[in-house]
Structure 1
Amino acid sequence: MSLQLTPVAAVGAALVLFVWAASGVWVNFDAHARGSDYPAVWGIFAPLSGVVLFYYLLWWRRGRPRQWPPSRSERAAATVVVAGIGGLIAGSLVSPPDPASQLTVWPVTFACCLPVAYWLVRRRLDAA
């Protein structure tokens, strides 16, 4: 089986990179707001390694209150990340198990998850 890179699959591949970069941006903003001495280091290494990302989310953030409320840019990055993860999960449930089909379906499920992600991020970050 060969992976055919159609224009729609290319959009899906670009979306993967966009969501991946948005996760680094969000971690950078969040680490800076929580008083990290090196937020850029968190922002670079968290998307590169799932272990670092899980350590940041489950251990480092806990017990460190935010020093200021989230900005619009931080909310936008968090919305893209949440919609990307939700779209990836929904796309893997409704598409065949080959990568080309999942890259084709993911932009559609991402777009469908954006309003829900916006609502979740708005509700969660404004409450924090």
Structure 2
Amino acid sequence: MSLLLTPAVAFGLALGLFVWMATGVWVNFDAHARGSDYPAFWGVITPLSGIVLLYYLLWWRRGRSREYPPSRLERATATVVVAGLGGLIASAVLSPPDPVAYMTVWPIAFACCLPVAYWLVERRFGTTSSSLITG
């Protein structure tokens, strides 16, 4: 079957591009907060290669602590990335092996994963009420 560019498929492709760019932005923020000399390098290279992204997540950032807490924008981009990956996995499992069906199911799976991703990111990176009181 040929790939028909319907509005739903076009929206799925645009959302995929948005999540792909958000991955680079989040890695750039995270690398900068962890004291990298070249955070833009990480932000450009990691979305291009899954192997480099895995290296960054599992090896490079593990040995470095954050110099400052994550900003609101960094938490928002992390939420988009986590929801994008969750939606990617869910749509791969739930949709038939057809690119058109995959691109129409993925935005729905992304939207369903967004609240869970928000909860996970806020639980991991969010500020607690005691830290807000003490400054």
Pairwise TM-score range, normalised by the shorter structure: over 0.9
Identity %: 73
Q: Which runs of structure 2 are paired with 1:54-73 in the superposition (5 Å)?
A: 54-73=54-73
Structure 1: which 4+ aligned runs deviate by more than 4 Å? none
**Counterpart in the other structure of 2:32:** 32
- Find the aligned partners of 2:91 and 2:49 in 1 and give their Cα distance: 23
2:77 is the alignment partner of 1:77? yes
Cα displacement string for residues 53-87 of structure 1 (whole angstroms, at most 9, x for unaligned residues) = 11111110012000000000100000000000111
Matches within 5 A, 1:1-128: 1-126=1-126
Measure how far apart 1:94 and its partner are. Answer: 1.5
What do residues 72-109 of structure 1 show as CA deviations (whole Å, max 9, x unaligned)?
Answer: 01000000000001111111121111111010011111
TM-score when normalising by structure 1? 0.96
Quote the Cα distance in structure 2 between the aligned partners of 1:112 and 1:103.
15
Q: C-alpha separation between the residues in 2 aligned to 1:113 and 1:11?
A: 17
User: In the alignment, residue 70 of structure 2 is paired with which amino acid?
Assistant: P
For residue 37 of structure 1, give the secondary structure of its aligned residue in structure 2: coil
Provide the C-alpha distance between the structure 1 equivalents of 2:126 and 2:87, rounded to a whole number of angstroms: 23
The alpha-carbon deviation at position 126 of structure 1 amounts to 3.0
Distance in 2 of aligned mates of 1:92 and 1:59: 27
| Alignment RMSD | 1.0
Greater relative contact order: 1 or 2 (C-alpha under 8 angstroms, separation 6 or more)? 1
After TM superposition, the structure 1 stretch with the greater mean CA deviation from structure 2, 50-59 or 35-44, is 50-59
Q: Structure 2: how far apart are the matches of 1:52 and 1:87? A: 21
Letter of the aligned partner of 1:58 in structure 2? L
Aligned length: 127
* Runs of at least 5 residues in structure 1 that lack an aligned partner in the other structure: none
Structure (1 or 2) with the larger CA radius of gyration: 2
Which has the higher mean CA deviation after the structures are superposed, 86-95 or 108-117?
A: 86-95
